[in-house]
Every structure is written in C-alpha cells, then in structure tokens.
Copies of this chain bind each other. A is one copy, B any other.
C-alpha cells in the first residue's frame, strides 16, 4: 500500500493501515535525530507555513524543527499583529498564504473544523495541529507510535486516559486511533469532564480511578486545561490532585510494567506527582522525541512520499 492523502485533518477518517504507515515512516525518520548531521534533503525547496491562530510554542517548534530537518523553508505566522486582526477572513488569509506558493499549511485554530474547511479550497496540503476541542491528530499518532515502540503492539492493550476528556482534542484523537488499532480504551476523571456519551464510541467510562488503573497497560494523563474551560468543572486543583492525580499510592495498584504518558506541559502536583513524572515508567520525554519523528513523517507523506520504503532509499 502507498500513502494517498494530500491532507492530514483528523484521525477519525484514517484507517488502521494508514496510522501504521505513519508509525513505520516515523521510525525511519527518528534515526535522523540521532545523527551528527540531523538533516535530510527530502523537502528541499518546499515552503511550509505554520499558521498558528491559537498560540502554541511546543507544537509549533516541533513542526518547525521537523520541517527544518527535512530541509524545507518554514515561515511562522501567528495571529498577533496579523491581517486576521484587521478583519480578514480565515479563508482569505489561507488563500493568500497559498498564493505565496506554500506547499504545506499547518494550522492550529480554536474553531473545530478549521483545517477541514481550508482543505476544501486549498491546493496546498493542510495539516491539523489542533482544532478547538475536536482533534489533534499528530499527538495521537505520536502517542500510539510511542506505545507501539515500547510494547511492540497496540491491539489488545488496555489504555486508560485519565483527566479532562470533555475539552480535550488529544483525548478524541487518541480514542479514535486506539480503537482503530484494536486497543481497549478506558476513560476516567470527574463526571463533569468525562460524560457517558463516550461509551457510544466504544470506550469504557468509569469514575473509579482505582478500577481505571488496575488493569491498564498504559495510563495517559491529560492536562487540566484551565484555558479551555469556561466554568469550574471541579471544586479545586487540590481536590482534583487528591482524587485523580497519579501518585505513588495509586500507581502501586497498576501493573508493574504500566507506561505513563502525558502530552505535556505537565502540571506537577496536579495530574501527576513529581516523582512519578520522572520515574522509569514515564515515557513523557520519549513522546516529545517521537513527536518530531511523527511530524517529519506526516510532512513527508502529505508531500507525496509513498511510505517508509522511500525513506531508506
């Protein structure tokens, strides 16, 4: 099978084979990061634009470095002081960027569906770097890639996602990817943040954190996103930490080889205790390293790369 897609908009529309192809391509690119010269000429002379309408440093830098390592030219476009502030529509902004012969537009936007909208009229490739509370597909691709590299497989594993599910695009994209790849997904957190509706996607929902971690092969902790919550969904950070924070006592109830994941930035002392974040079961920094490789893979594939076999060649 060869990669066919010109855009990467979400995980929902990807097949298990496509997700696996991104993983395999990422594996080939990860090796570049450990070379003395961390650069391949795969996208030389291509123009990549980071259109970050919602601020982000972490994801923007990961994409920027991924593009640089593929030898692309990268432009950062942030919402501050931009023509979006002067009343220009998103469609016009995007078409203007494309008129600069942009090959790939990476968009982060607070509105659900913004990347899909752009993909309907742009010839440039569109990559979703997070749209509202909807999806964050490269995060799910890097999370599942990290699981595969550590556990050797994904099918049949028990993955518990713990925290703010309702407002989390990371959760949505992970749920889609994990279910497609055959994992069993448990969601846990305060009832206000983990509605029962997720059961319809095929997840188990529980409000008993001990039950949620007991049989987990993976615990993926989500950030308590103060900035995306419009009203108080739980009494206090302290209460959240004591009820749902991953600490030594709670971890003792999990399997000895459980992997601890977090998309970052972590709130030490809130969703995760400091010592747990740094323990040997935590693969949080490995996720960051893998994220770069996954983004190199995605940039390569949407630009016409056929698959991992082309990276080696």
Q: Looking at A44, A56, A65, which has the most chain B CB atoms within 10 Å of its CB?
A: A65
Give the number of copies in the complex. Answer: 3
Complex Cα–Cα for A77 and B58 (A): 9
A45 pairs with B55, CB closer than 8 A? no
- Residue-wise, chain A 284-300 has the 8 Å CB interface mask toward B (1 for contact) of 01101100100000000
Contacts of A268 in B (CB 8 A): 89, 92
Q: Name A86's closest neighbour in chain B (CB-CB).
A: B265
Complex CA gap A185/B264 in Å reads: 48
Chain B residues in 8 Å Cβ range of A92: 264-266, 268
Instruction: Let me know if B34 and A39 touch, CB within 8 A.
Output: no
- In angstroms, Cα B73 to Cα A285, docked, is 21
Q: For chain A, which range describes its interface: under 10, 10 to 19, 20 to 34, or 35 or more residues?
A: 35 or more
Assuming the contacts A88-B266, A101-B38, A267-B87, asked whether A75 and B64 have C-beta atoms less than 8 A apart, the reply is yes
Contact of A88 with B265 in the complex, beta carbons under 8 Å: yes
Within the assembled complex, what's the spacing in Å between the Cα atoms of A255 and B264?
59
Contact A36 B47 (CB under 8 A): no
Taking a contact as CB atoms under 8 Å apart, the answer to whether B289 and A61 are in contact is no
Q: A63-82: contact bitstring with B at CB < 8 Å (1 yes, 0 no)? A: 01100110001010100011
10 inter-chain pairs at a CB distance below 8 angstroms, sorted by A residue, are A38-B46, A39-B73, A47-B65, A57-B82, A58-B83, A61-B75, A65-B100, A87-B267, A88-B266, A92-B268
Give 7 nearest A-B pairs by CB, closest first: A37-B45, A99-B288, A88-B265, A55-B81, A83-B265, A57-B82, A39-B45
